[in-house]
Amino acid sequence: MKQLFSSLLLAAAVAFFSGCNKNNEAPSSGASTAGNSKPGKKLTIALLPKSKGNAYFISCQKGAQKAASELGDELIFDGPTDTDPAKQNEIVENWITLGVDAIAAACENKEGISTALRKAQSKGIKVITYDADSLPDARTFFVNQATPQGIGYALMDQAAQLCASNANFAIITASLTAANQQEWQKYIEEDRAKNYPNMKMVAVKPCDDLKDKAQSETTALLSTYPNLKLIMAICSPGVPGAAEAVKQAGKAGQVKVIGLGLPNENKMYVHEGVTQAVILWNTMDLGYLTVYAADAVARGNLKPGDTSFKAGSLGTFEIKGDNILLGKPFVFTKENIDQFDF
């Protein structure tokens, strides 16, 4: 009985895995020798998103995959599938024993993940961060797509440009506890206090990274604050959610919507004039650059102190201190949004 059961289970598992090895487009073909970081060898680079099932990181992954195949490296892309903040650490620690050559992490919890990244460094694994930084001593470089300050200021400046100098606005965040959201809010507030002191932020509502909840929260905000002039959604499902709510309230154009999001999810609203601007960088380039940088660091081609870095077909990027700069955040508007597909 037990033998039958276990062999059945094993057989099912083998079939399952061999099946997904074939079908899965994710970069997991075959095993290779690990732990060896001499130039010319095939490297294993692990890319850690903040969470899986997020379109933002999927497009990063696309760029990263492109870079990995150009470089002939193996790319592992994996991350937490639920809201457990300890999951990132667990995955990194698994990669350490797995024996990857380089880890590129987008950090959900700055302090929390740093302990795991430091441990990786102590085991000789090269660590860089992208999208959201860790503590500086836990990585070699940070691929900086835009500093939190840059994002916060860009959002606030955009908002001020769209509204009167004494307008009220509200923020939709992913969750009250998400670290990057808190950081952006900090700089939004800083910019507001410094440059637009008459504008007023009336509420911050979390949407749990759900479009539907962003929609219902925005609906309530709109009726609570009739003189609300702008909604700023700083998580990607929040932007279309807020836009839909504004549209349903019949306040399109009257209440502006801006936010951080992917062009594809927002094209429709931008064209309808519900959403005025979506701010983002080219996420595919971010993934591409990150993998190139990780590869170079692991091969010793990129060292602290360098001031520029050439990443394949994207050309040369500036390095400021230990930050590799992707460029300024990009503002997608009605005019240019159709040129992008991610």
Rounded-to-integer distance, Cα 140 and Cα 101, Å: 14
User: Judging by DSSP bridges, how do beta strands 323-325 and 315-320 pair with one another?
Assistant: antiparallel
DSSP 8-state class, residue 42 = P
Residue range at the interface with other proteins (CB under 8 A); choices 64-72, 110-118, 126-134, 306-314: 110-118
Q: Which of 39, 40, 137, 226 binds other proteins (CB under 8 A)?
A: 226
Amino acid at 335: E
Contact between 212 and other proteins by CB under 8 A: the answer reads yes
The residues in 161-180 that bind other proteins, with binding defined as CB under 8 A, are 175-177, 179
Contacts of 212 (CB under 8 A, 6+ apart): 241
Contact between 341 and other proteins by CB under 8 A: the answer reads no
Does residue 243 contact residue 211 with C-beta atoms inside 8 Å? no
Q: How far is the CB of 4 from other proteins (least distance, A)?
A: 10
Q: How far is the CB of 34 from other proteins (least distance, A)?
A: 6
Rounded-to-integer distance, Cα 10 and Cα 131, Å: 39
The residues in 75-94 that bind other proteins, with binding defined as CB under 8 A, are 76, 78-86, 89-91, 93-94
Contact between 103 and other proteins by CB under 8 A: the answer reads no
Q: Which of 63, 148, 152, 206 binds other proteins (CB under 8 A)?
A: 206
The residues in 5-24 that bind other proteins, with binding defined as CB under 8 A, are 5-6, 9-10, 13-14, 16-17, 20, 24
Q: Dig out the tokens for 257 from the structure.
A: 């919507």
Residue 83 has φ and ψ, to the nearest 5°, of: -90, 15
Rounded-to-integer distance, Cα 210 and Cα 197, Å: 31
The residues in 123-162 that bind other proteins, with binding defined as CB under 8 A, are none
Q: Which of 41, 42, 55, 201 binds other proteins (CB under 8 A)?
A: 55
